[in-house]
Structure 1
Amino acid sequence: MDTRIMQTFLLAAKYENFRMVAEKLYITQPAVTFQIRQLEEELGGKLFNKYGRNIQLTEFGRLFEKEAKEMIAQYEKSITRLNSFQQGFQRTIRVAISPLMAETILPSILVRYTKTFPNVELSIEVLESIKISDAVEKGEVDLGLSCLPGFPTIKSLKLHEESVSLVCRHDGYDSETGPIIDAQNLLESTIIFTDNHPTYWERLKEQLKTSLSTYKLMKVNQSYVTKRFVLEGIGVSFLPKSIINREILEGRLLEVPAPFLTLPTANMYILYKYEQQMESDFVKFISNFYIS
């Protein structure tokens, strides 16, 4: 089936007017009509009903529209793969990564992995950790880098464990002359941004409720947004060390000890279903990767 004719059909379905399709494709209107008739003969069914100068999909046409979009998408995907091969890439490995890791370790991974495996093309999809296991299980991606372990039906390898700290915007004082920040007063007097990590917040909120006389919680489900709000001085939060290291070193954030709380840890996992060569190489590479 000619993909150009399918493209003509999809434009006709979109604009419901052969003249507009002809103008978009820089061909004559009779040429558009001829292509649609060719397609109808090939498929054995009528695709459009005509109403004056306009057209409308038949029931058969609406069914084929969905199929045509899928066929065009697969065709374009195949062309992309062939172009990648011609450019020297021998395979694409699809990786789903959580937003937290996308902000912290992804840039370093990309640089080092592409240098180590120059003939492998990385395809990155950013997904919430809770969705990554399902994507790996269904074969939508080859591997996942997640804050959560995977389903029992796939493999989960714990990559890293790090501490979580209470952080606030830097107060401008140096560590020797500045006043001591009391964690309890801080938490009772400002907004606490919660739910920016998928594993530790429920237990942490229970501790806050029993340890503080008053508090105000605000749910912000993205860690990088939480960090932005804390940097602006809007409130405070508990964040993994990997996402705040740079701001701590640059003197933009302060870690505040909270000895009355049992602070959690945050884990990172690599999830995969198959142990083929490409996946095994990636798992081995990531396993040896130093995460600061």
Structure 2
Amino acid sequence: MDTDLLKTFIVAAQRQNFRETAEQLMMTQPAVTKQIRKLEALLNLQLFDRVQQRIHLNANGHYFLPRAQKMVQLENEITEQLRAFQIGYTEKVTLGVAPQIANSTLPLIVKKFNKLHPDIKIEIEILPSNEIGEAVFRQYIDIGISKVPSTRELISIIIANEPVMLVAARPFDKGNYDVLIKTSPIYTHSFSPYWEKVEQHLPKECKIERLNQTEVIKNFIKQGMGIAFLPKSVVRTEVQRGELFAQVPPIQGEIQSATYMHTKYTCALFEQFTDICIEIYSLG
């Protein structure tokens, strides 16, 4: 593909103004318009929505932009992508996922998606929840699944709102709850959006230990070293295996943990992925 067309498109996508694009590239505005139309004809896709004399990058344009940048900057990478296409990958979706999601619900989500779309390659980036929104905004990833909302202007959907469970190595009941939280170390993730609400229900004398990996917390609990308050989906597998025990803590008002899906734009494929996520989380 003609890289001159791609360079014109990249500037136009950033400026979203053909006149300013022409000034930056030292071209005439009709020449810019002609190159964009030629690129759209080659792709058989419309990349901009045109309303009166203004242009806006549409979903096709958003999807194509980071790939166009890679084609201009990294020819070798594009060659590898073409090789991947030749062996059967017709599309690629990059997911940015928080560690606790990657270690719990993500395998079920990917398995379901792969069954419906075996020709689509999924690439996974494990990122802290508070970095995922920014990665989506900058289009380093296509879809982000995070435990926190994004401060960027994105399409954000709550795909799950689940109870936070009290997790321990042995069965417990309401009768020994007060003793349990006063005598056992309570492990919490260093960045848990729901923790402030949990802490309001804890006695001042309890011992709180902060760790930065949910998997480490679960391993500590399995060894009988303490307890934790974790989202239901995070411990679902271990509870089913009998490795951990979990129940909604006997406190006033159920504490919820939300899971968010962030995208820069919407399309039918992303909407279907959203439906799959909601279905998996609804399994309980």
Q: Same fold (TM over 0.5)?
A: yes
- Give, in angstroms, the shift of residue 188 of structure 1: 1.0
Superposed CA RMSD in Å reads 2.6
Secondary structure of residue in 1 paired with 2:157: strand
Shift of 1:275: 1.7
Measure, in 2, the Cα distance between the counterparts of 1:216 and 1:231: 18
Q: For the structure 1 residues 116 and 204, does the alpha-carbon distance in structure 2 shift closer, same or farther, using more than 3 Å as the test?
A: same
The answer on whether the counterparts of 1:226 and 1:237 sit within 8 Å (CA) in structure 2 is yes
- SS of equivalent to 2:199: helix
- Which aligned pairs between 1:164-243 and structure 2 lie closer than 5 A? 164-170=164-170, 182-195=176-189, 198-208=192-202, 212=203, 214-243=205-234
Q: Residue 241 of structure 2 corresponds to which residue in structure 1? A: 250
- Percent of aligned pairs sharing the same letter: 26
Do the aligned partners of residues 85 and 162 (structure 1) sit closer, same or farther apart at CA in structure 2, a change above 3 Å counting?
same
What is the CA distance between 1:282 and its match in structure 2? 2.8
TM-score by length of 1: 0.66
Instruction: Decide whether aligned partners of structure 1 residues 197 and 265 sit closer, same or farther in structure 2, where only a CA change above 3 A counts.
Output: farther
Secondary structure of the 1:198 match is coil
Q: Quick one: structure 1 residues 291 and 140, their matched pair in 2 at CA, closer, same or farther if it must change by over 3 Å?
A: farther
Match of 2:149 in 1: 149
- Please give the alpha-carbon distance, in whole angstroms, between the structure 1 residues aligned to 2:116 and 2:151: 30
Q: Secondary structure at the match of 1:104?
A: coil
1:1-292 correspondence to structure 2 within 5 Å: 74-170=74-170, 182-195=176-189, 198-208=192-202, 212=203, 214-255=205-246, 258-260=249-251, 262-289=253-280, 290-292=282-284
In structure 2, relative to structure 1, the CA distance for the partners of 1:80 and 1:286 (3 Å cut) is farther
Shift of the 261–214 alpha-carbon distance from structure 1 to 2, 3 Å rule, reads farther
- Give the drift of 1:276: 3.4
Gaps of 5+ in 1: 1-69
Shift of 1:74: 2.4
- Distance in 2, Cα, partners of 1:144 & 1:221: 20
Per-residue Cα deviation, 1:155-189 (whole angstroms, up to 9, x for no partner): 11111111111111126xxx8xxx87511111111
Q: For 1:119 and 1:138, how far apart are their aligned partners in 2?
A: 26
> Does the 8 A contact of 1:142 with 1:272 survive in 2?
yes
Paired with 2:100 and 2:142, the residues of 1 have a C-alpha distance of 19
Q: CA–CA distance in 2 between the matches of 1:258 and 1:113?
A: 34
SS at match of 2:141: coil
Measured at CA, do residues 180 and 118 of structure 1 come closer, stay the same or move farther in structure 2, by a change above 3 Å? closer
In the alignment, residue 275 of structure 1 is paired with which amino acid? T
Distance apart, 1:281 and its partner CA: 3.8
CA shift in 2, pair 1:189/1:136, >3 Å: same
What SS does structure 2 have at the residue aligned with 1:214?
coil
**Which has the greater radius of gyration?**
1
SS at match of 1:187: helix
- Range with greater deviation from structure 2 (196-205 or 104-113): 196-205
Q: Provide, for residues 44-99 of structure 1, a one-character-per-residue CA deviation record: whole Å limited to 9, x for no partner.
A: xxxxxxxxxxxxxxxxxxxxxxxxxx99x924422321121011111111110111
Equivalences, count: 214
| Counterpart code for 1:204 | V
Structure 2 contact 188–208 (Cα < 8 Å) conserved: yes
SS of aligned partner of 2:237: helix
Distance 1:120 1:267 in 2: 28
Question: Structure 2: which 5+ runs fail to align?
Answer: 1-69
Residues of 2 paired with 1:277 and 1:257: CA distance? 37
CA contact (8 A) 2:165 2:246 kept: yes
